[in-house]
Structure 1
């Protein structure tokens, strides 16, 4: 047989794995109790060969939930890698056909890609591996690629690192070093995912902060009392509970509290608890760790952490189930949250403003709502009157909405006829200010 790249590696493992060299495309499965004997070394990078006693691979009961793709044209290398890695990691996919890489990446989000640098017999330049690594990173910018080779010049290694390689593994590899490298690569992948997620959340938060809010309008005695309470409560860091029917403007008041507070330069984050499934509320508020539950494919910070330094608005507070209220109370009392699946708490610095359309009688019913939680949330309580109880504000609101829509659609401002204004003023508006706005 003609000499070819990596042949010394095959001799090192051939006596210990009961398999023969297969045709290109095959992926032999070693027996679970196989013992792998191989010389350990740093390979061609340093030109040093270090021999050490044989290493028995022991099964690891708790495998790390990491998905690995191994690409090498030598089936014996793939067999050895699969035998070793499956003992330590959750999922290992191998292929001896680099042209399958794009389709495999489309099917699975791999945490680590172990990629050979040479695929053509006799080729030692490493250009093929660099080319495939560039394609991998173009498909998945968060991919973490570890290159494998028995022949690597220093110049090629430097170029590979500049192009985005995470590390090198010399063949024949040292088992402990390979496992440690894969673990480090998986951790790097997780950090890249978290950074990308935080960048996305920051963009969303910036858009949320820059979104213009409507004015809280009113000249009636009831609204003047609301404005007085807002002016007194806003400069403090006290938690505020806003009560009112649907459409009365509870979120607008919450935004005004934030705008006038010392946290105005921070985040204002709104969470509609009525729109979140009960089982997802803990994850939504407190975050979760990767693997905490089915579908938790990556770490995710919760709304409390995302709003750190700013204001968190919990809308439709009455929808939070009683058995979850204890977790919310703990977060408020200790000023820390524990993401789902985590063991350590995370400190938070958040002002909480809550709102509900539930009758106050429901909030004071111990069977429905914890009174110690209510005490924490309503340091200041603001009650918004329904529009029917401040009908004198309807003309002011109607004129304001007419100007808003004229500016939005580039039209001249039109005045509402007196008889039409009298009609809308006399109407009870069960949907309150929101319904009035939609009608106009």
Structure 2
């Protein structure tokens, strides 16, 4: 017996009885209705797998219009149910019309029992297929949401960041290729996700690929896919990143790491909007929005013969330069507080605060590793913290490396402020003791703090 629910709707009670007797030995639950006006109030209507529906309910009427009307009403309420239409008046055009309206099949009265059971069985298989497809679509939609939400929120109020976000909002709704540039750790992937999230493809998938992690001999397989048996480890057909991103956005990070040979293969795929799986000769059309990112100077690489000029033109319709953290000074504490909240929750250390001296230390550091370095610095401080207040000593930063790279507090004013804040921290905020250690008067120390906007 099949675990399915069937509903028979016919104004002829003899028909209802006959079908109930016939179907109850094959299917777990069989219900009947003699009045189609009761369809909406029928308990468990949405759980029905199959509905057998008469086409004519009024005496002397054989147009089938009543059945078509109720078919449409049922489909509105239960879109995936399989509906079999029944009539004593065989007309090809009526059957065609019913199928167009979504009926699964058509049965003539009087019916042959074996044929009717076969028709119901086919309708049930159709119902199962529809449910499976619907479940797969729901899972796909959920997976897309999960994948697209993997990025973090872009945090900051600095002028330089606002300029980037304004450009993103202007470009996002188009399908032009975008090149995102910037130093390591600046958040290039977040900008790429923002472009996707504001685009017309926002409900489709965002696929991110780290080009620096793909070896040259696996480049085609990873990006274009392969067929079973194409090489030793190809045990099954596999779609590449281009196919996986079809309809959505493909983000190629660290594109400057590609060799000239792989650059040529990528250029061909972008130009023709088609790919060919390894081991196949069948071209597959792909529809993607391409966003690339790099932390190297591609213009210089072109000049040095290390990057194809035609590929650069293809990926560089719009260029978005993400500013380093040292050019977003007013965002540093916003970001530090964001990560502090994140990690205090993660490690169960609620109530932690960053004191003024530590904030000044964070603001005067050059952050050669940018936001990624700040994130790890705050996480380390939270993990090792022993009190409720994070002080400058909780943030051991390599200012020598920062200054050497030209990214740190190289001005005398900035270095002075850093020394003052560290001295204050060592003396628990005691201005007199800090001034004595630094060899300056208390008033001089206060004036320097006031000038920097850091007076306590």
**TM-score category of the 2 structures, normalised to the smaller one:** 0.5 to 0.7
Partner of 2:453: none
Q: What residue number does 1:353 align with?
A: 291
Displacement of 1:415 in angstroms is 2.5
1:282 aligns with 2:282: no
Task: Report deviation, 1:230.
Answer: 0.6
In structure 2, how many angstroms separate the alpha carbons of the residues matched to 1:390 and 1:243? 16
Shift of the 328–210 alpha-carbon distance from structure 1 to 2, 3 Å rule, reads closer
Match of residue 428, structure 1, among 355, 366, 369: 366
Distance 2:152 2:208 in 1: 15
Q: Which residue of 1 aligns with 2:281?
A: 343
- The 5-angstrom pairing of residues 103-142 of structure 1 reads none
User: Which of the residues 314, 338, 350 maps onto 1:400?
Assistant: 338
* Residues 148 and 206, structure 2, Cα contact 8 Å, conserved in 1: no
What's the CA shift for 1:278?
1.2
Moved more, 358-367 or 371-380: 358-367
Deviation of 1:204 (Å): 10
1:270 aligns with 2:270: no
* Alpha carbons 1:402, 1:413 under 8 Å: kept: no
CA offsets, 1:122-159, max 9 Å, x none?
xxxxxxxxxxxxxxxxxxxxxxxxxxxxxxxxxxxxxx
Offset of 1:389 from its aligned partner?
Answer: 2.1
Q: What value does the CA root-mean-square deviation take over the aligned residues?
A: 2.3
Q: Residues 65-87 of structure 1, C-alpha deviation per residue, up to 9 Å, x if partnerless?
A: xxxxxxxxxxxxxxxxxxxxxxx
Bigger radius of gyration among the two: 2
SS at match of 1:331: helix
* Contact 1:331-1:337 at 8 Å conserved across structures: yes
> What is the aligned partner in structure 2 of residue 379 from structure 1?
317
Show the 5 A alignment for 1:20-39. Answer: none
The answer to whether the Cα contact below 8 Å between 2:148 and 2:205 also exists between their aligned partners in 1 is: no
Matches within 5 A, 1:232-271: 232-271=170-209
The verdict on how the C-alpha distance between 1:338 and 1:242 changes in structure 2, with shifts beyond 3 A counting, is same
CA distance in 2, matches of 1:232, 1:363: 29
The answer to which of 426-435 and 403-412 deviates more is 403-412
Task: Find the aligned partners of 1:365 and 1:374 in 2 and give their Cα distance.
Answer: 12
Secondary structure, counterpart of 2:328 in structure 1 = helix
Separation in 1, partners of 2:304, 2:285: 29
Q: Distance in 2 between matches of 1:210 and 1:408?
A: 22
Give, in whole Å, the separation in 2 of the partners of 1:348 and 1:394: 41
Query: How many Å apart are 1:291 and its aligned residue?
Result: 1.7
Q: Is the Cα contact below 8 Å between 1:214 and 1:252 reproduced in 2?
A: yes
- Whole-Å separation in 2 of the counterparts to 1:267 and 1:412: 36
1:409 positional shift: 4.0
Residues 377 and 210 from structure 1, CA distance in 2 versus in 1: closer, same or farther, beyond 3 angstroms?
closer
The 3 A distance-change label for structure 1 pair 207 and 235 is closer
* Equivalent residue, structure 2, for 1:328: 266
Q: Which TM-score applies when normalising by structure 2? A: 0.50
What is the rounded CA distance, in whole Å, between the counterparts of 1:354 and 1:297 in structure 2?
Answer: 31
Conservation of the 8 A alpha-carbon contact between 1:387 and 1:432: yes
Runs of 5+ in structure 1 lacking a partner?
Answer: 1-194
Q: Deviations over 1:153-202 (max 9, x none)?
A: xxxxxxxxxxxxxxxxxxxxxxxxxxxxxxxxxxxxxxxxxx9xx99x95
For 1:203 and 1:235, locate their aligned partners in 2 and report how far apart those are by CA, in whole Å.
21
The correspondence of residues 299-318 of structure 1 with structure 2, limited to 5 A, is 299-318=237-256
Q: Does 1:215 align with 2:153?
A: yes
For residues 378 and 398 of structure 1, the distance between their equivalents in structure 2, rounded to whole angstroms, comes to 33
Please report how far the alpha carbon of residue 209 of structure 1 lies from its aligned counterpart in structure 2 after TM superposition.
1.9
Which runs of 5 or more structure 2 residues have no equivalent in the other structure?
A: 1-132, 379-456
Query: So what's the TM-score if we normalise by structure 1?
Result: 0.52
- Paired with 1:208 and 1:366, the residues of 2 have a C-alpha distance of 41
Q: Is the 8 A contact 1:208 1:269 kept in 2?
A: no
Counterpart secondary structure, 2:334: helix
Q: Distance in 2 between matches of 1:293 and 1:205?
A: 30
More helix by share: 2
Q: CA-to-partner distance for each residue in 1:226-262, whole Å, 9 max, x for gaps?
A: 1111111111111110001110000111111111111
Aligned-residue offset at 1:340: 1.1
* 2:303 alignment partner, SS class: coil
